[in-house]
Chains A and B, each alone.
Chain A
C-alpha cells in the first residue's frame, strides 16, 4: 500500500495532540527524534487505499526557532523526507497562526490546513470559508473539531487529493518583495531546497540556509545581489530589519485573508473573568499555594482509603498462596519476599494517581501557565523565570518528563539550572516512602501537613540551590519571559482517565516485573547463607515443647539469618558511612536500592523488616519500623530521599539531555553530598533541641 508521510505542524496549544487521538482506527508509536529526547509521536491509519503516517512535530511559533524544541521542528521540515505538511490552526487565533503557515508554505511542499476548534469558533458565531481560502492561496483547508470529531474524514480526503495532485501553496507577498525574491532566486543555482524558499530565507537572514549556500561557487554572485535586494527592501519599508519586514508582510497578508474568508467569532470572555480572580495581583499567589496544598492533602487523605484495602488484599493473597503451595523455597520467596514487597508498593498506587491527576488537571485546564505567570516574580528572585515553573511542577509527577519539559527553556544556562534542581521536586515514586515514614512517626492530625512541608521544603531548597548555582556557576541574566496564556478549557475527562489508566498499567507492570525481581533478589540476599543457623535452631526447636517457645525460637532464628545474610554484610560494610545519621543497615540498603527505582525503597524495607512474616499477632510494616527506627533516623531518611539522586531512568534522561561531561559528573555527585549534609544537620539539630 502506498504510504503518505505527513509532517504535522502547528503553534503550541492548537490541539494537535487532541487531533491525533481523535483519528479512528489509528495506531500510535511513541519514540524520539534522532539524537534528542523530544518525544516523537507517529500515528498510522488507512484511508482510501493509502497508508497515512502522521508525524507530530513539536509545537512551534515560527520557523525562526526560539527554543530547542522549535529547532527540532525546523530541522525536520528542512532535512527529513516527507510527502506533505498538515498544519493545524486554532480557529480562534487565525491571524497569528497564519503567520507561521505562510513561513511553512514558502517551503513549496504540498500542504493542507486544518482549522481546528471549529466547534468553539462556530458556537461563538464564527465562520471560515475554506473554498475561498483555497482560491486565494491554493491551500486546501478544512474546518475540524478534534474535540467533537467532525471534519476529520474530509480533512484526510483533502490530504489525499493534495498529495495526488501535488498541489502546492501559492502565497505571494507584495510586489516589491516578490521582485527582490525573484532577483535573488536567479542567482541561486543548484540547492537542495526550493529556490524561491531559499531566496526568501536568505533575505530573512536565516543562518541555517546561509551556511548551506556559503560554500557554493556561485555564492559571491549571490551575495552581492542579496545585499542589493535587502537595501531596496529596507529603503522601501523604511526599516533596517528585513526579518521584521517579512513578519509584518505576513501579518498583513494574514489579516487581509482573514477579512476575506472569516466571520469573526464573539470574543470569549470567560477566561478573562476567571483570570480576574485566579491571577489577581494580591490573591494570585495565595490561591496558587492553596491549590498546591489541596492537591497534596487529597493525595494523602483520599489516597489512604483504598490503600488500606489494597494492603489487606495483598496480605490475604499472601496467605492464600501460602496455603496453596508446598513448603519450600518457592513458597518462602513468594510469601516472605515478593508478595509483601510488591504489595507494599502497589498500596500507594492510589496516592500516586491522585497526585498525577492533580498535575494533569493543572496542565489541561490552562492553570499551569497562569501559575507560571504568578510565580515568575518569585522565580526571578531565584535566578529562574516563570517558564521554568512547568518542568519544576512536572517534577512532582516524574523527573523524566520534567527533564524533557525543560526543553521549552531557550537559554542553556537556564535549562541546566532548572534541570539540576528538578530532582529536588519530589517525584510520585518517592511518595510511598514519605507516607510510610510519616505515618509511622508523626501524629495522624498533622500527617497531611508534614507531607506538604516535605514537598514545599524540597521545592524551596531547589530554588535556593538554583539561586546559588546562578550566582556561583552561571553568571548572567535569566532568559526573557514571554509566554502565551492559553484559554481556560474544561479538561477532557476521557483523556485524563486514559492517561491515568496508562499510568496505572505502567506502574503495575513495573511492580510486577522490576519490583518483583528486585524484591526477590533482596529476599534471596537477606535469607542466605543460612544452612548452619537452620541446623542449629531446628535441633533447639525440636527440643522445646511449648508453641510459644517454638515461635520465639523461630523468630530468633530468622533474625540471626538476616544478621548473617549477604545483604547484612553489604549493609554493615556501608553502615559506618550512614551511622552519623542514625540509620541502620536496613535503611542503608533500601536507600541504595532506591537508586534503581524509588519504589524499591519501600519494597526493600518490607522484605528486610520481614513484613511477609506478619501474621495476626505481629505488626504491620509501619509498626515494625516505628519500633525499630529512632525518630532521627526517620527524619534523616526522609531528607535523604528528598534530595539524593533520582532513579536510573531519570539519570539517563538527564545524561541524554545534557551533553557536557562536567555537568553529568556534577549532577551525579552533588545531590548525594547535599542530601547527606542536610540530613546530618537535621539530625544534629533534633539531638540538640530534644
Chain B
C-alpha cells in the first residue's frame, strides 16, 4: 500500500520510494528511507496534504508525493 492510504494515527514501514530524482533525494534527505517507520499524524479534510512523523521529524507532503512512497502497515501499533 501507499503512504496516502494510511489513516490518521496509523504507522507503516517504508518499503520503497518510487519517486524520481530530484524528489527522491529530497525525500531521502528528509529521512524517508526504506525500513524507516512513518506515522500519519494528520491530513487535511480532502486528504490533499499529509502531516507525517518520520523518525521524530514532522514533515508535510502532498497526496501526490505520499503516493510515491510504498509502505507496509504496522498493526496494533501504539505511540
What residues make up the interface of A, taking CB atoms closer than 8 Å to B?
61-62, 64, 66, 92-93, 95-96, 99-100, 241, 243-244, 247-248, 251, 267, 271-272, 275, 279-282, 284, 369, 372-374, 376-377, 380, 385-386, 410, 480-487
A284 to B42, CA, bound (A): 11
CB 8 Å contact bits of B37-62 with A (1 = contact, 0 = none):
00001111110110100011111111
18 pairs, CB–CB < 8 Å, chain A vs chain B: A96-B55, A96-B57, A99-B29, A248-B35, A272-B41, A280-B42, A282-B45, A369-B60, A373-B49, A374-B44, A376-B44, A480-B26, A480-B61, A482-B23, A482-B30, A482-B62, A482-B65, A485-B51
State whether A377 touches B24 (Cβ < 8 A).
no
A503 to B35, CA, bound (A): 48
Given contact pairs A96-B30, A244-B17, a sample of 13 additional A-B residue pairs in the complex whose CB atoms are under 8 Å apart: A61-B26, A66-B26, A66-B29, A241-B24, A243-B28, A248-B33, A376-B44, A480-B61, A480-B62, A480-B64, A481-B61, A482-B23, A483-B61
A357 to B1, CA, bound (A): 45
Nearest opposing residue in chain B for A377, CB measure: B48
Which residues on the A side are within 8 Å of B48 (C-beta)?
A: 376-377, 380
B6 in the interface (beta carbon within 8 A): no
Which residues on the A side are within 8 Å of B23 (C-beta)?
A: 480, 482
Known: A95-B55, A481-B61, A481-B62. A64 touches B43 (CB 8 A): no
Which residues on the A side are within 8 Å of B27 (C-beta)?
A: 482
Which residues on the A side are within 8 Å of B26 (C-beta)?
A: 61-62, 66, 480, 482
- Cross-interface CB contact of B44 among A66, A251, A377, A410, cutoff 8 Å: A377
Nearest opposing residue in chain B for A381, CB measure: B48
The distance from the CB of B67 to the nearest CB of chain A, in whole angstroms, is 11
Which residues on the B side are within 8 Å of A244 (C-beta)?
A: 17, 24, 28, 33
Nearest opposing residue in chain A for B68, CB measure: A480
> Is chain B's binding surface mostly helix, strand, loop or mixed?
mixed
Counting contact residues on chain B (CB < 8 A from A), the size range is 35 or more
What residues make up the interface of B, taking CB atoms closer than 8 Å to A?
17, 19, 21-31, 33-36, 41-46, 48-49, 51, 55-62, 64-65
- Cross-interface CB contact of B42 among A95, A281, A385, A487, cutoff 8 Å: A281
Which residues on the B side are within 8 Å of A410 (C-beta)?
A: 22
A95 to B65, CA, bound (A): 23
Which residues on the A side are within 8 Å of B31 (C-beta)?
A: 95-96, 99, 251
The distance from the CB of B14 to the nearest CB of chain A, in whole angstroms, is 11
State whether B43 touches A281 (Cβ < 8 A).
yes
A96 to B53, CA, bound (A): 13
The distance from the CB of A264 to the nearest CB of chain B, in whole angstroms, is 9
Which residues on the B side are within 8 Å of A482 (C-beta)?
A: 23, 26-27, 30, 59-62, 65
A376 to B30, CA, bound (A): 19
Known: A377-B44, A386-B49, A481-B49. A271 touches B29 (CB 8 A): no
A374 to B42, CA, bound (A): 11
A532 to B22, CA, bound (A): 73
The distance from the CB of B26 to the nearest CB of chain A, in whole angstroms, is 5
Which residues on the B side are within 8 Å of A281 (C-beta)?
A: 42-45
A280 to B23, CA, bound (A): 27
- Cross-interface CB contact of B30 among A61, A267, A373, A380, cutoff 8 Å: A61
A482 to B59, CA, bound (A): 7
State whether A66 touches B22 (Cβ < 8 A).
yes
State whether B33 touches A251 (Cβ < 8 A).
yes
Nearest opposing residue in chain A for B36, CB measure: A251
Which residues on the A side are within 8 Å of B59 (C-beta)?
A: 482-485
State whether B43 touches A376 (Cβ < 8 A).
no
Nearest opposing residue in chain B for A95, CB measure: B55
A485 to B58, CA, bound (A): 5
The distance from the CB of A113 to the nearest CB of chain B, in whole angstroms, is 18
Which residues on the B side are within 8 Å of A99 (C-beta)?
A: 29, 31
A372 to B19, CA, bound (A): 22
Nearest opposing residue in chain A for B54, CB measure: A96
The 10 lowest CB-CB distance pairs between A and B, nearest first, are A62-B29, A61-B29, A485-B58, A377-B48, A247-B28, A373-B60, A64-B25, A281-B45, A376-B49, A481-B62
State whether A275 touches B44 (Cβ < 8 A).
no
The distance from the CB of B32 to the nearest CB of chain A, in whole angstroms, is 9
State whether A484 touches B25 (Cβ < 8 A).
no
State whether B22 touches A64 (Cβ < 8 A).
yes
Nearest opposing residue in chain B for A380, CB measure: B48
Known: A99-B29, A369-B60. A248 touches B34 (CB 8 A): yes
The distance from the CB of B28 to the nearest CB of chain A, in whole angstroms, is 4
The distance from the CB of A64 to the nearest CB of chain B, in whole angstroms, is 4
A369 to B58, CA, bound (A): 11
Nearest opposing residue in chain B for A62, CB measure: B29
Which residues on the A side are within 8 Å of B49 (C-beta)?
A: 373, 376-377, 386, 481
State whether B55 touches A243 (Cβ < 8 A).
no
Known: A66-B22, A279-B51. A376 touches B60 (CB 8 A): yes
State whether A247 touches B44 (Cβ < 8 A).
no
State whether B58 touches A271 (Cβ < 8 A).
yes
The distance from the CB of B5 to the nearest CB of chain A, in whole angstroms, is 17
State whether A481 touches B60 (Cβ < 8 A).
yes
A634 to B74, CA, bound (A): 62
State whether A247 touches B56 (Cβ < 8 A).
no
The distance from the CB of B60 to the nearest CB of chain A, in whole angstroms, is 4
Q: Which of B35, B46, B55, B56 gathers most chain A CB within 10 Å? A: B56
The distance from the CB of B63 to the nearest CB of chain A, in whole angstroms, is 10
State whether A275 touches B41 (Cβ < 8 A).
yes
State whether B25 touches A243 (Cβ < 8 A).
yes
